[in-house]
Amino acid sequence: MDKRTVLITGAGIGIGRAAALTFGAEGDHVIVTDVLEDEGRAVVAEIEAAGGSAEFHPLDVRSTKDADALVEGLNARFGGIDVIVANAGVALRVPMSEMTDEKWHQTMDIDLYGMMRVIRPALPAMKPGASIVCLSSIMGSHYGWHEHVHYSTAKAGAIGLIRALSVEYADKGIRVNGVAPGYIRTAQLLNPGHSLGPDAAQIASPYIPMQRLGEPSEIASVIKFLASRDASYLTGQVITVDGGLTPGRY
């Protein structure tokens, strides 16, 4: 495969990090972005140490100005971005009775509008064969999530974005797909304040037919497939990767 320019948001940790390492191993040039600068630079160093090619750019996806400037620079240097992985997100536990406009907008701003902010300026320079992959969640595609109404709403919105954008750009040869992960072993899942906490495996595994949590690398492999030529006739789809949770249990 020819070297592609791959932009990944939220690539410092978790699924974003795993995706960056996966594309780096494929020989692509990976644009690692995150608000976590130390973690993002560490991912670049890991890719380069393995013989790959990468660079880090700090990016808060809440900033239209910064997203526009980053993408404009990449378009000028590379003639367009080949793959976008819109992954940056937060999931903060807030009971609906305590929800404020500010807390609601924070999640929407990052998890949904943040996707639009990196995709929108990239589209005019994207060429046929380019691919966009957005991260949703089973909590947006199948389930509600207790005390995470804002998160489920944003992740459901991501599915609407994927479907509509895929139709709008299909005749231009640009594919748009998504992944809806289940319970994946990430810092978010292991955070006791906002998700299941350190006992996540013991809590969730009995409900998962495969009897275990997923690993970030297993989501990265699906992202890699969706961005590849092997998925050339696949667009507007959201692939659920959950160890059989949604079809197998409740």
Strand runs labelled E in 59-174:
83-86, 131-135
Range of the domain at 142: 5-248
Query: What pLDDT sits at residue 202?
Result: 84
Of the two residues 232 and 195, the one the predictor is more confident about is 232
* Band of residue 228 on the pLDDT scale cut at 50, 70, 90: very high
- Give the SS3 label for residue 135: strand
One-letter identity of residue 115:
M
Q: 183 catalytic, yes or no?
A: no
Query: What pLDDT sits at residue 205?
Result: 86
Query: What pLDDT sits at residue 199?
Result: 80
pLDDT more than 70, % of the chain:
99
Average pLDDT, the chain: 95
CATH of the domain at 147: 3.40.50.720
Q: The pTM is what? A: 0.95
How many domains is the chain partitioned into structurally? 1
Query: What pLDDT sits at residue 250?
Result: 52
DSSP character at residue 190: T
Write out pLDDT tens, residues 145-197.
999 999 999 999 999 999 999 999 999 999 999 999 999 988 887 777 777 78
Write out pLDDT tens, residues 186-226.
888 777 777 778 887 888 888 889 999 999 999 999 999 99
One-letter identity of residue 45:
A
8 Cβ neighbours under 8 A, 6+ residues apart: 16, 19, 20, 23, 30, 31, 32, 33, 84, 85, 87
Write out pLDDT tens, residues 41-65.
999 999 999 999 999 999 999 999 9
Query: What pLDDT sits at residue 249?
Result: 64
Q: 143, 151, 183, 250: which one is catalytic? A: 151
Please state the rounded mean pLDDT for residues 87-102: 96
Give the pair of three-digit tokens for residue 19.
């995706």
Regarding beta strands 131-135 and 29-34, do their DSSP bridges make them parallel or antiparallel, or are they unpaired? unpaired
